[in-house]
Amino acid sequence: MGRALIYLALLAAGVSGIMWMARLGGLVEFAVGEIVVQLPFSAFLLFAAALFATLHLGLAGLGALRRWPERARQRREAEHRLLGDAALTRALVALAAGTPDLARIEVARARRHLGDTAQTLMLAAEAERLAGREEAAAAAFHLLAANPDSRFLGLRGLLRQAIQRGDWPTAQRLAREAEAAQPGAAWLKQERETLALRMRDWREALALAPAGAQQAPLALAAAMQEADADRASELERLAFQTDPAFTPAALAHARRLREAGSARRARQVLEDAWKARPHPDLAALYLEGEADPLARVRAAEQLVHGQPKHAESRLLVGRLATAAALTGRARQELEMLAGSGEADRRAFLALSDLEEFEGRDTPESRAAQSRWLRRAAEAAPEPGWRCGQCGAEHGGWAPACPACDTAGMIAWGRGGSAPTQS
């Protein structure tokens, strides 16, 4: 409204100006050579105004003509973006709905409109994977990996494919490349850990594992793989110190100390391990080389002094006392054990042995023996090293199950019950 009033005022001023000049009169004269042109001053003003308006309009038209291709291109681009975005949305919906064929059509449309961007390539790969076309998916991941901005996405996709088809060396190489592209990605750490376990690369698995007791089996496994004796010894010590209750580490550490001539320190390691978790293998190593039955009882008492009331402690001392003819001591330990509710088959068999040793061949002794044997048959089986994955029994601990090839599943425990030690 305000602007219209200004225009009106300007128009009125112009018209009255021209009329004033027309009343004023006067001539404008052009002389070109011999020709002389005379114009009234007002006509000259009108002519000049018309000339100015024509020139101005002509130049504006020329400018618009020059900008025309650029504008058309922008309009086309906006149109493509709009169509491409719509196709992307439809592809996402198709992927979420689990319809790979529709997703592939929409992704192809989106790629036609938007080109190979990180989004279109990622969706293309996902759609191809959903359709079971792994090679086409790999091609999209390779294109993603070729671009520095989306390199990690591409490598991650290729890594997952390698893991899926069980190509562990390729997977490990890709994991290292992905780590270089995106250092410190949490997801990658987990994946590298899984790969290290798969590849039986225990040192790498140890380096990636969170601090704590779960490091002990990995450190021992790395020690078993280590060719250098000093480094192996250091890893065994680390395994024992990380988890003294992990028997295989204590055994390896104590053996190494004994070989190095530190018998006293080896004994101390086994005593500490027994205190953390009594285990018959600890006793076997502790008593190795000791033949005298009475000395064996004394040594066993020294070993178990940190946990004298534990079922394994009572069983060990009871059995050795029987062998040393210390029947009173043996009966005390074994009957306490039988009454504790923690006894397994071994305790009742030891009691039967004790009856046999004590009673010689009397009818009472035979009756007592068969009573203990019956209880042995009903009792829980003795514990052993078992795979938590396939249930196979093994003579000792191993980093991976020889039967089913699963890593980290062999544990000490009773058959049919949950493993009690990793």
What does the binding site for Zn ion look like in residue numbers (CB under 5 A)?
387, 389-390, 392, 401, 403-404
- Dihedrals phi, psi of 25, to nearest 5 degrees: 80, -165
Listed in sequence order, the DSSP H helices in 165-210 are: 168-181, 186-198, 202-208
CA angle, 347 then 353 then 359, to 5°: 130
Instruction: Provide, rounded to whole angstroms, the least separation between the CB of residue 222 and Zn ion.
Output: 21
Tokens of 119: 């989004």
Contact 138, 158 (CB under 8 A): yes
The torsion angle over the Cα atoms of residues 271, 273, 278 and 284, rounded to 10 degrees, is -70
Nearer to Zn ion, 39 or 392 (CB): 392
Give the span between the Cα atoms of 274 and 289, in whole angstroms.
Answer: 19
Determine if residue 407 is left, alpha or beta; phi over 0 gives left, psi from -120 to 50 gives alpha, anything else beta. Answer: beta
Characterize 391-415 residue by residue with b for buried, 16 or more Cβ atoms within 10 angstroms of its Cβ, and e for exposed: eeeeeebbbbbeeeeebbbbbbbbe
Nearer to Zn ion, 349 or 407 (CB): 407
Tokens of 216: 């002990």
Instruction: Provide, rounded to whole angstroms, the least separation between the CB of residue 392 and Zn ion.
Output: 5
Instruction: Provide, rounded to whole angstroms, the least separation between the CB of residue 136 and Zn ion.
Output: 37
Helix (H/G/I), strand (E/B), else coil: 29? strand
Instruction: Provide, rounded to whole angstroms, the least separation between the CB of residue 399 and Zn ion.
Output: 12
- Dihedrals phi, psi of 412, to nearest 5 degrees: -85, 125
Q: Comparing C-alpha atoms, which of 274, 358, 253, 360 is closest to residue 317? A: 274
Nearer to Zn ion, 202 or 286 (CB): 202
Nearer to Zn ion, 58 or 396 (CB): 396
Instruction: Provide, rounded to whole angstroms, the least separation between the CB of residue 216 and Zn ion.
Output: 20
Instruction: Provide, rounded to whole angstroms, the least separation between the CB of residue 385 and Zn ion.
Output: 11
Instruction: Provide, rounded to whole angstroms, the least separation between the CB of residue 121 and Zn ion.
Output: 41
Nearer to Zn ion, 21 or 403 (CB): 403
Q: Comparing C-alpha atoms, which of 129, 125, 86, 132 is closest to residue 109? A: 86
Nearer to Zn ion, 293 or 413 (CB): 413
Give the span between the Cα atoms of 129 and 126, in whole angstroms.
Answer: 5
Instruction: Provide, rounded to whole angstroms, the least separation between the CB of residue 400 and Zn ion.
Output: 8
Instruction: Provide, rounded to whole angstroms, the least separation between the CB of residue 215 and Zn ion.
Output: 22
- Dihedrals phi, psi of 407, to nearest 5 degrees: -85, 145
Tokens of 206: 């140890």
Nearer to Zn ion, 115 or 396 (CB): 396
Nearer to Zn ion, 208 or 401 (CB): 401
Nearer to Zn ion, 125 or 387 (CB): 387
Q: Comparing C-alpha atoms, which of 180, 211, 183, 179 is closest to residue 192? A: 179
Question: What is the sign, positive or negative, of the torsion defined by CA atoms of 325, 329, 335, 340?
Answer: negative
Instruction: Provide, rounded to whole angstroms, the least separation between the CB of residue 422 and Zn ion.
Output: 14
Nearer to Zn ion, 45 or 403 (CB): 403
Listed in sequence order, the DSSP H helices in 97-185 are: 100-114, 118-130, 134-146, 151-164, 168-181
